[in-house]
Amino acid sequence: MDAGTADDRWKELVQIVPQRTEVLRFFQFYRQLAYPFNPILVDIDRFELDLCTYLNAYAAGVFEAHSRSEKWATDQSIAHISLLLATLSAGAHFSDLDLPQRSNISHDLGNTLQNHGQSDAAWAQLGTTVRLAQTMGLHTERSIAYLPLYIQSKAKALWLGIDVTTADRDAQETAFYVNMLNHVDEVYQRALPHLTSRANCKSMHEHLEHLALKMHLSLLIGVLTRPALKQPQTQDLSYGILRERAKTSMIDASRAFLDFQALSVIPLRTWSMVHTALTSTLLLSTWEETRNDPESRDLQQRVIELFSAVSSVGQPGDSAPEYGPWLSKRHIRALITLRNTVRYTLDQEREVGVFEENPTPSEIPLPAFDLPPGFPEAVDQVGASPVSYLDSIMNVPLFDFSQETSLPNNSSRHSETYTTTAAMLESIFPTVTTPTSGRTSTPSSVVAADHDRPVTSTQTRRRRIVVAMTGATGAILGIKVLLALRRLNIETHLVMSKWAEATIKYETDYHPSNVKALADHVHNINDMAAPISSGSFRADGMIVVPCSMKTLAAIHSGFCDDLISRTADVMLKERRRLVLVARETPLSEIHLRNMLEVTRAGAIIFPPVPAFYIKAAGVDDLVDQSVGRMLDLFGLDTEDFDRWNGWEK
């Protein structure tokens, strides 16, 4: 309210004060559904007394434009009205209205929230701002890397971080987190009986409180037990405790979410609960300890079915894809990845082959992960893990500012954003007639029709790279390439050989289905009619990583007996970038001759030779440097490694 005079300010206030019918309708939803699980008001009883005073004043005609009230024109009263509008906005979000009406009302009321120094209104504004910033990805360095420089500087100004440096804690790391878990358990044991056991719940509200606490507590335990996902130096008792608690926390979080939504609309309309459910379930489908567990499989399927069936009012029922955007884009992406991961796993189990059995847990190196900034310990990385996999799913940039200048006006940009959201939603909701996944080969007729369409200045597309993985050792290189391309918002088409799947199982903690879920499109190696097999399919290049000597020989001879060699042949004939990450040592004369000939034909041979000048702290640094140099050849900067800047002085 920037009006100059007191009378002008009063006129603006009268225009935004909530009507009596709005207060009576939406405040009850806030009081019953929102406040118990987000008690942002310091004194709800005092607030209700002030609300009664407001309703009496409204009924008495105080809020008339022609008669300014000195009492209600003060900063304190305006702050109270701002807070009232915020509570009504939250109440509308949890009301029985359908999604379009809820969104419109919440948006209108939320825009009137003002901060005049009153603590409740300030905290309400802060919470809204923080969640908006997280939705935009402003809290992570990778997410803002694609924004203009002036926006990056503003985003970094929002960060507040504390670097915690500890002495050698590697040996005591698991014991440290077990001790933290013990403290959490001690606090939990002092909770009210209905919070510790659902059998003690005597009312609906107590059931809801129990399930809400179970979800949040499971998420906390999941964070504290993340060291269980990395390779331990010794298999001690503490590590076993963390590993078991990690598994239990993921299962408990998913189960509590499903039980909660059966009783109330709260979990499906609460961002933190949706986030907890999707991340926990996605980790269940990724971690080798849980992905084949029958209980975990059942929870994954139930979560997928629930989100696919949610209608516009936030309850399972008739699907309404036009109301789908109640999920954020990152959560839509997580849901699609979860569904595709489960699907690929089931499909592979139906196939009869030699490599059906997973290696035993003792044979699989358990990699490390990233912890949030400021967490008590910075854990060394040794490779990709379920947690870093989850991070790659959730932290893809939503907008490509590099193409902003080619869009003629804002409407085109909004249309592009809407189309992207609609495309993701169409892959979830079953009533839409478009393809359900986007990770299988598109019919030739569709591809031909798409590429016959003339390209105008207003049409843009993401850069498109084909990634092929063969059975050579070094599967982590291919996985890291896919992770990097996802962060860079590059459209990826993945082709994976049978032996590549076997190598992934043996060398990493990933399942092939998890790796396939990282790509935008997955093509069967025997599908010689796939779009990427044609030169008319517009691609910006191809990388074979790792590249076996058999694949190299096939490319050299032009003997295209599978989709990998055929697509590589297309890249050469179309004069497009082809990078072959050859993994073999020592090299025979035949190997060297094949490398020479494909280089003459236009390909680039890239042996992943370690760069010792970066003074790597571990294998992960060496892999990141190799992947970064590979993608340099496509004009892409991962910013994940140190470049040579001359001798340090």
pLDDT tens-digit readout, 339-352: 877 777 776 666 64
Which CATH number do you get for residue 579?
3.40.50.1950
For 165-196, the pLDDT digits (tens) are 444 444 467 778 888 899 999 999 999 999 99
Last residue of a domain, one of 394, 423, 456: 394
Q: Is residue 574 pLDDT above 50, yes or no?
A: yes
| Same domain as 178, residue 130 | no
Q: How confident is the model at residue 416 (pLDDT cuts 50, 70, 90)?
A: very low
Q: Is residue 253 pLDDT above 80, yes or no?
A: yes
CA distances for 170 relative to 176, 231, 377, 502, 548, angstroms: 10, 12, 10, 32, 37
| Same domain as 291, residue 211 | yes
Q: Does 571 belong to an annotated binding site?
A: no
| Same domain as 301, residue 178 | yes
Q: Does 613 belong to an annotated binding site?
A: yes
Tokens 């993985």 belong to residue: 469
Q: Please name the residue ranges forming H helices in 539-601.
A: 549-557, 563-573, 589-600
Q: Give the Cβ contact number of residue 53 at 10 Å.
A: 14
Query: Residue 18 in contact with residue 84, Cβ under 8 Å?
Result: yes
Query: Could you tell me if residue 408 is inside a domain?
Result: no
d(CA 184, CA 188): 6
Please report, as a single letter, which amino acid is at residue 491.
E
Residue 159 corresponds to which tokens in the numbers above? 């960060």
Which comes out higher in pLDDT, residue 486 or 90? 486
d(CA 584, CA 403): 40
Residue 549 corresponds to which tokens in the numbers above? 């000597």
Q: Is residue 371 pLDDT above 70, yes or no?
A: no
Which comes out higher in pLDDT, residue 639 or 631? 631
Q: Does 517 belong to an annotated binding site?
A: no
546: cis peptide before it, omega within 30°? yes
* Number of domains composing the chain: 3
Q: Of the given ranges (47-61, 249-263, 295-309, 313-327), which has the lowest mean pLDDT? A: 313-327
Q: Does 550 belong to an annotated binding site?
A: yes
Q: How confident is the model at residue 395 (pLDDT cuts 50, 70, 90)?
A: low
Q: Of the given ranges (265-274, 276-285, 384-393, 560-569), which has the lowest mean pLDDT? A: 384-393
Please, which residues bridge with residue 578 across strands? 542
pTM: 0.54
| ∠ CA 525-349-583, rounded to 5° | 45
pLDDT the model gives residue 176:
82
pLDDT the model gives residue 230:
64
Query: Residue 453 in contact with residue 402, Cβ under 8 Å?
Result: no
Q: Is residue 163 pLDDT above 50, yes or no?
A: no
Q: How confident is the model at residue 375 (pLDDT cuts 50, 70, 90)?
A: very low
| Same domain as 205, residue 131 | no
Q: How confident is the model at residue 1 (pLDDT cuts 50, 70, 90)?
A: low
Q: Does 471 belong to an annotated binding site?
A: yes
pLDDT the model gives residue 552:
96
Query: Could you tell me if residue 102 is inside a domain?
Result: yes
Q: Does 250 belong to an annotated binding site?
A: no
Query: Could you tell me if residue 586 is inside a domain?
Result: yes
Query: Could you tell me if residue 399 is inside a domain?
Result: no
Query: Could you tell me if residue 273 is inside a domain?
Result: yes
Last residue of a domain, one of 112, 135, 158: 135
Query: Could you tell me if residue 518 is inside a domain?
Result: yes
| Same domain as 449, residue 532 | yes
pLDDT the model gives residue 398:
40
Average the pLDDT over 59-74 and give the result.
77
| Same domain as 292, residue 211 | yes
Q: Give percent of the chain above pLDDT 90.
A: 30
Sign of the four-CA dihedral 8, 9, 10, 12: positive
pLDDT the model gives residue 32:
85
How high does pLDDT run on average in the chain?
75
Which comes out higher in pLDDT, residue 165 or 143? 143
Tokens 């059906």 belong to residue: 356
For 258-293, the pLDDT digits (tens) are 999 999 888 888 878 888 898 899 888 888 788 788
Q: Which of 224, 260, 186 is nearest to 37 (CA)?
A: 260
Q: Is residue 408 pLDDT above 90, yes or no?
A: no
Q: Which of 562, 387, 549, 548 is nearest to 474 (CA)?
A: 548
Q: Please name the residue ranges forming H helices in 30-118.
A: 44-59, 75-93, 99-110
Q: Print the domain residue range for 327.
A: 173-394
| Same domain as 350, residue 442 | no
Average the pLDDT over 548-564 and give the result.
94
Q: Does 215 belong to an annotated binding site?
A: no
Query: Could you tell me if residue 418 is inside a domain?
Result: no
Which comes out higher in pLDDT, residue 52 or 357? 52
pLDDT the model gives residue 649:
60
| Same domain as 451, residue 384 | no
Average the pLDDT over 149-158 and give the result.
73
| Same domain as 235, residue 100 | no
Q: Is residue 121 pLDDT above 50, yes or no?
A: no
Tokens 């490390």 belong to residue: 368
Which comes out higher in pLDDT, residue 174 or 248? 248
| Same domain as 564, residue 456 | yes
Q: Is residue 463 pLDDT above 60, yes or no?
A: yes
Residue 582 corresponds to which tokens in the numbers above? 């050859």
pLDDT the model gives residue 424:
43
How far does the chain reach from its first CA to its final CA, in angstroms?
57
Q: Is residue 158 pLDDT above 70, yes or no?
A: no
| Same domain as 177, residue 130 | no
Query: Could you tell me if residue 110 is inside a domain?
Result: yes
Q: How confident is the model at residue 521 (pLDDT cuts 50, 70, 90)?
A: very high
Query: Residue 516 in contact with residue 344, Cβ under 8 Å?
Result: yes
Q: Is residue 397 pLDDT above 70, yes or no?
A: no
| Same domain as 389, residue 443 | no
Average the pLDDT over 535-543 and give the result.
94
pLDDT the model gives residue 385:
57
Q: Is residue 474 pLDDT above 80, yes or no?
A: yes
